[in-house]
Amino acid sequence: MSDHERIWLQNAIDAGHQEEGRLWCQDKVWPDDPEDGEPTEYVRADLYAAALAEIERLQSIVLNAKKLYQAAENLARNEVHTHTLPDGTVTAVAAGPPHPVKDHGYE
């Protein structure tokens, strides 16, 4: 017998018509009839644990992406200020609210 990834247990109400009670199956063969209830699906514990770990890993990635997006959005809201000398050299770069620029006598 192999380890199946999933197995199904027949709905209790539907199994009430059978002498042997509820049946297990490796394939979802129920419901047989539109009035039959859905079977209960069981997933192997190791597969469930792996899926849960992957969900947690992806949630962490999404959270980090949201933080990076927020930081970029905050930076974009602030103006970038530079002080350029007459020869074109940038002497200062500041991100944040505008600050008054002192007159250093440059034209």
Q: How many helices (H) and strands (E) does the chain have?
A: 2, 5
pTM for the model stands at 0.53
**pLDDT tens digits, one per residue of 81-102:** 566 677 766 655 555 555 555 5
Q: What is the distance between the alpha carbons of residues 6 and 76, in angstroms, rounded to a whole number?
A: 49
pLDDT tens sequence across 37-77: 899 999 999 999 999 999 999 999 999 899 888 887 777 76
Which residue type is seen at 44?
R
DSSP assignment string, 2-51: ---SEEEE--HHHHTTSTT-S-EESS----SSTTSPPPEEEE-HHHHHHH
Pick the residue with more confidence: 78 or 70?
A: 70
